Structure 1
């Protein structure tokens, strides 16, 4: 199947490579010449404009966007809209907010253009291991792109599914990432407790490796954790500063709106925010309050 890939950053480029190796004809576009050149070295055709990309594809066209959520997606759609025709399919494989995806689906449907929101998980390992794909949107274009999903997934019969109507794919991915926040926080806290009692468990990396086999807490995330600890047991050179890319915030906001308690995901998000505070004002004020009501000592800087 022929596909246009928009956005040749690390993940988009790897998806293009996996599709090409799976026998699909892929034409890629990225505004950055080095990104295009990197793919051309691997026999993936690239072009230098959206107009050229659309022109290189046979109708009905299928184009897959891997661009940052928010305005970049809307800007790309606005640039593509005059170039597309009824029957074309546009896929957003990034981490867009699901309500934005629903809005875009409705607007494009009026012009006869299908819009699929595909939550994509797999990160930098997707090229070798395959991606988990959560497909939202209308059934007909989802079925039309089934060969693409089957190639990107770990296997043709698993790792991808049409999970529901417009917005469902990005909604599922949003919750997926919220769960990921909680799992990561639990691992981090557990290993932090172990690190404090190195007299009892001196080889934390070895324990992580042990847990990978037969333990009820084994997971791919633990596999990656064990590898990180093996390579750098003391975590030297890594700052205690944890970013978030937005999905955790959206998950917590959705939970509040739906009256669904999600304390683990919420606290995991708050811990990421806390990690970015150097000499936090709130902590200094807490120390001042303890001194005021109980006469407790204050550690001076």
Structure 2
């Protein structure tokens, strides 16, 4: 009698332990989501109420070698300072992931700086805002394929459940992740501006007696339905006339960089460019449309809004 085939051997799940520097709006929730997925995370933040360690040195000492450290701090000088510190304190074979909104042109510089010490580098655009803890994050990674493979368990823990290709992409080499995220945010500018202008037009016509209901009716079955539309409805539920929000809207950098790249590559981008200029205009005149853009930024990203009248 022929014996049945032996069951396949179980693949033991490898324990993963990473460091996370920056526990702000997104970093704090990312730490929690990773932990829920079984990833061990040691976090550091200057805020003593939320940090796991008293210093970056203590964080590094807690990690197994080769270490992986995810940097989730504001782009620019702060990211530069953190990466310079890690370059001095990490060892050959360690890996740094920049998950903030750094400009893609900075990635080559940071990669070369770390490579001089034998430290690996990955840039990763992260989208999901304050809702990422429950919904997961869209991830766009740039860097060497072997380095991406090394941290796939971390990416899989952060992204939404389901097919990896629906929420994670290895876009290309160094800088590609942040370039993709830059364009993503440029598109976001245009989408928010369109919803906001529609809101202002509906609000201007006295025959519209249920403005929030109009947007709510678009949430299912229409071609303009989206998560941003859902957040627009939520904003109107919380503050029907947007009376508590000023129309001053910040731009976080990616919109400007997207327009600059469009100019540099002779790619027409009129919608994104107009949306960026509308934010500049919001700092001069009162505008119901820009109140809505401000409300949407607060809804998806937790970005600060100015109280009305300030």
Q: Mark yes or no: TM-score above 0.5.
A: yes
| Distance (whole Å) between structure 2 residues aligned to residue 74 and residue 209 of structure 1 | 44
Preserved CA contact (<8 Å) 2:87 2:113: no
Query: Which secondary structure state, in structure 1, belongs to the residue aligned with residue 49 of structure 2?
Result: helix
Matched, 1:15 2:30: yes
Tell me how far 1:278 sits from its aligned partner.
Answer: 5.0
Report what 2:40 is aligned to: 25
| Distance (whole Å) between structure 2 residues aligned to residue 27 and residue 152 of structure 1 | 16
Write out per-residue CA displacement over residues 58-105 of structure 1, whole angstroms, 9 at most, x where no aligned residue: 010000011000011111111111211111110111100001012111
Preserved CA contact (<8 Å) 1:150 1:156: no
Query: Which secondary structure state, in structure 2, belongs to the residue aligned with residue 75 of structure 1?
Result: helix
Matched, 1:234 2:249: no
Write out per-residue CA displacement over residues 246-287 of structure 1, whole angstroms, 9 at most, x where no aligned residue: 0000000010000111111001000001101259xxxxxxxx
| Distance (whole Å) between structure 2 residues aligned to residue 194 and residue 137 of structure 1 | 46
| Distance (whole Å) between structure 2 residues aligned to residue 28 and residue 153 of structure 1 | 19
Matched, 1:51 2:44: no
Query: Which secondary structure state, in structure 2, belongs to the residue aligned with residue 34 of structure 1?
Result: coil
| Distance (whole Å) between structure 2 residues aligned to residue 110 and residue 27 of structure 1 | 26
Report what 1:177 is aligned to: 185
Gaps of 5+ in 1: 37-45, 280-301
Tell me how far 1:141 sits from its aligned partner.
Answer: 1.1
Which range moved further: 71-80 or 171-180?
A: 71-80
Report what 2:92 is aligned to: 86
Report what 1:148 is aligned to: 154
Tell me how far 1:220 sits from its aligned partner.
Answer: 0.5
| Distance (whole Å) between structure 1 residues aligned to residue 198 and residue 212 of structure 2 | 13
Write out per-residue CA displacement over residues 2-45 of structure 1, whole angstroms, 9 at most, x where no aligned residue: 01000111210100000001101110001121232xxxxxxxxx
Query: Which secondary structure state, in structure 1, belongs to the residue aligned with residue 93 of structure 2?
Result: coil
Tell me how far 1:231 sits from its aligned partner.
Answer: 2.1
| Distance (whole Å) between structure 2 residues aligned to residue 156 and residue 5 of structure 1 | 25
Write out per-residue CA displacement over residues 122-170 of structure 1, whole angstroms, 9 at most, x where no aligned residue: 0000000000000011111110100000010002533112111000000
Gaps of 5+ in 2: 1-15, 287-310
Report what 1:291 is aligned to: none
Aligned residues: 269
Write out per-residue CA displacement over residues 175-226 of structure 1, whole angstroms, 9 at most, x where no aligned residue: 0000000000000001111111132x21111111111101000110001001
Query: Which secondary structure state, in structure 2, belongs to the residue aligned with residue 17 of structure 1?
Result: helix
Q: Which runs of 4+ in 1 moved over 6 A?
A: none
Task: Name the structure, 1 or 2, with higher relative contact order (CA <8 Å, separation 6+).
Answer: 2
Preserved CA contact (<8 Å) 2:121 2:143: yes
TM-score (norm 1): 0.87
| Distance (whole Å) between structure 2 residues aligned to residue 155 and residue 116 of structure 1 | 23
Match of 1:211 among 218, 229, 238: 218
Matched, 1:119 2:125: yes
